[in-house]
Amino acid sequence: MNIAVNTRCLIEDKLEGIGWFTYQTLKRITQSHPEHNFYFIFDRPFSESFIFAPNVHPVIVGPQARHPLLWWWWFEKSIPKVLKQINADIFMSTDGFNSLNIKTKSLLVIHDLGFEHYPQHVPWLVKQYYSYFTPRYAHKANQIATVSSYSKDDIAKLYDIAKSKIDVVYNGSDESYKPISEKEQICIREKYTLGKPYFLFVGSIHPRKNLEGLLRAFDLFKKSSCSELKLLVVGRMAWQTSNVESILKVMQFRKEVIFIDHQNLPALSSIMASAFALVYPSLFEGFGIPIIEAMNCEVPVITSNSSSMIEVAGKAALFSNPKDVKSIASQMAALQKEPTLRTKLIAEGKKQAEKYSWDKSAMLLWKSLEKINAKSSS
């Protein structure tokens, strides 16, 4: 088969959730199936590190699609031309975008419908684009993959799509996320938090990730305890960050919060493995990869009792109401006060993390693709 893949989210040193899903699954799929040709379609110059095997053929097609108007042009004008040129049998898109102007069979990965539940957290024009095109993309696709049972049910319900058309392909965790020695942890803490233990937040900073709630909860936690724990925030400033900046100005324990920018994989995995706990109080997630990354590092997790996070974390996390600052703070306090609780969560986390791996993700994504091929052949 000639399999065309939308790889515009593969950008060197800038991989986040969808980018990592794309990278990890495609690397395994292309190497496991040398009998097929894969055409990686980029919208800009690419890194050779993304050409995973001899059967991967890169194609650069403009314009760089980073704006709703350019999205439309890229997917409705540029992509159809490329698919014809390479005689594609299947078009696979891992970032929620499809093309309505193609006859080629398509496999679409929709990670979540967060914009439907929290439209106020998305720029207006982006929201208009998503609201119009995403349901149409979903109906156009021959098969859909998504990253949790929660998201599967959400897509089926909101867009009136048969569940048989939607496959669950869970995320995984990179092999770099693993425990490190106490000596290495001490070095990391010395580098980032003056040697002090820290709660960790990882993710791009925008309202859906609920850093605002975490900052308020951390201030409350510090006021009610004598803990030396700090809060380390790792991630790029995305959009709508003015509320975060306003909260920081009035925090009593502002000096106990350390911000560092997006980190490469080796640095981030070491930071994760050195944390006292990951606090991930997101308002909404299709999956929540940092939850599994922390568990693989033998770091306990505090996360939200909403959307997919209950499903992903299972019995291996402390849950809080992400909209209730006191709820988040109380779980931080419980973990700090009860060493046995922390030990229990680490043990449970190790078992829970075994359910997820990128090898499994790649295998399941390939099965989704094979369903399309089987339907075409029948």
Tokens 């009593």 label which residue?
252
Q: Note the pLDDT of residue 236.
A: 78
Residue 177: inside a domain:
no
Q: Note the pLDDT of residue 369.
A: 96
Query: pTM, whole model, 2 decimals?
Result: 0.93
Q: Note the pLDDT of residue 85.
A: 96
User: Residue 241 pLDDT > 80, yes or no?
Assistant: no
* Residue 88 backbone dihedrals phi, psi, to 5 degrees: -70, 140
Tell me the average pLDDT across 9-16: 89
Task: Report residue 97 as tokens.
Answer: 């975008």
- Pair (126, 190) in one structural domain: no
- Pair (314, 301) in one structural domain: yes
DSSP, residue by residue, 287-328: --HHHHHHHHTT--EEEESSTTHHHHHTTSSEEE-TT-HHHH
Q: Note the pLDDT of residue 376.
A: 62
* Residue 241 backbone dihedrals phi, psi, to 5 degrees: -100, 5
User: Residue 253 pLDDT > 70, yes or no?
Assistant: yes
Residue 30: inside a domain:
yes
Q: Note the pLDDT of residue 239.
A: 60
- Pair (370, 283) in one structural domain: no
Residue 23: inside a domain:
yes
Q: Could you tell me the residue range of the domain that residue 222 belongs to?
A: 182-353
- Pair (93, 195) in one structural domain: no
Residue 256: inside a domain:
yes
Residue 17: inside a domain:
yes
Task: Report residue 367 as tokens.
Answer: 């099965």
- For residue 30, the domain's CATH number is 3.40.50.2000
- Pair (133, 205) in one structural domain: no
In the structure, what pLDDT confidence band is assigned to residue 68 with cuts at 50, 70 and 90? very high
Task: Report residue 128 as tokens.
Answer: 């208009």
> How many domains would you assign to the chain?
2
d(CA 292, CA 177): 9
Counting residues of the chain whose pLDDT is more than 70, the rounded percentage is 98
Q: Residue 278's closest CA among 263, 254, 297?
A: 297
Nearby residues of 245 by Cβ (< 8 Å), 6 or more positions away: none
Task: Report residue 295 as tokens.
Answer: 């568990």
- Pair (373, 339) in one structural domain: no
pLDDT digits (tens, 9 = 90+) for 143-152: 999 999 999 9
pLDDT digits (tens, 9 = 90+) for 127-175: 999 999 999 999 999 999 999 999 999 999 999 999 999 999 999 999 9
Q: Note the pLDDT of residue 377.
A: 60
Q: Note the pLDDT of residue 238.
A: 63
- Pair (10, 138) in one structural domain: yes
Q: Note the pLDDT of residue 205.
A: 84
* Spatial contact of 124 and 37, defined as CB atoms under 8 Å apart: no
Strand partners, 90: 3, 105
- Pair (156, 187) in one structural domain: no
Strands 37-42 and 166-168 come out as unpaired
- Pair (223, 310) in one structural domain: yes
The Cα angle at residue 317 between residues 255 and 312, in degrees rounded to 5: 115
Counting residues of the chain whose pLDDT is more than 90, the rounded percentage is 88
Residue 270: inside a domain:
yes
- Pair (146, 257) in one structural domain: no
Residue 159: inside a domain:
yes
pLDDT digits (tens, 9 = 90+) for 328-346: 999 999 999 999 999 999 9
- Pair (366, 346) in one structural domain: no
pLDDT digits (tens, 9 = 90+) for 269-326: 999 999 999 999 999 999 999 999 999 999 999 999 999 999 999 999 999 999 999 9
Residue 346: inside a domain:
yes
- Pair (188, 263) in one structural domain: yes
pLDDT digits (tens, 9 = 90+) for 219-229: 999 999 989 99
Average pLDDT, the chain: 95
